[in-house]
Structure 1
């Protein structure tokens, strides 16, 4: 082998190594971003389900107070309603259309709970119905998924 052939072979090796390195780096960067999104989505689903569960618990406490003919303390449920969990991944284009409907359902039930508390027209029947809807919303939130590839 001549020196020229060695230099050309070395150059081809360096260039192909750089090209394959860039391709592999981009692939793993994309995979890392997808994995981070899926982890964030999982955490936000769990946070939201716990939030809905907390509202459900507060409604049960209010219902028990009404059953005892006591005036219920609404301060805790109002505090929870004022501080919903932050869920930026729920607005992503990576969320399926069915899941976006589920998110909308969650927002609707939280609005219903807030309106019922604000109106002051609480009775055990309304609280029971809201409790059922919150339970359904919890399940729907946990079923949120990304767009299939």
Structure 2
């Protein structure tokens, strides 16, 4: 991807305009890396960011509907400014990703220059790294029950 495009995306202008961004490409083209980097840049700019897997979001919505708390669940996801969603499960952390300084994966040459400082009294929330989540385990009873209901509907 062209560095100028990454620079433009890192300015969060699309986010300010309410425009969605969908990264599409072959496996191994660093889409997830770019997603995390853009989310990190947004968080460093004071944007509320949440990372999730598409499957996790769908499961959360199904479970919320079953438990009659769908409105609250939708509101919880709606409290963020940027929802970064992946379709595949995260890779386990490597020795390179564990420890070390917490800084943006976007190279300084591609980052937007900014002379504006954050407002006094506010601090940007750090972006949550999706690889911090534990690996998915076996399906729980709610997931199994939901799957059974879906099979019966077919």
TM value normalised by structure 2: 0.29
Q: Going by fraction, where is strand more abundant, 1 or 2?
A: 2
TM value normalised by structure 1: 0.30
Q: Going by fraction, where is helix more abundant, 1 or 2?
A: 1
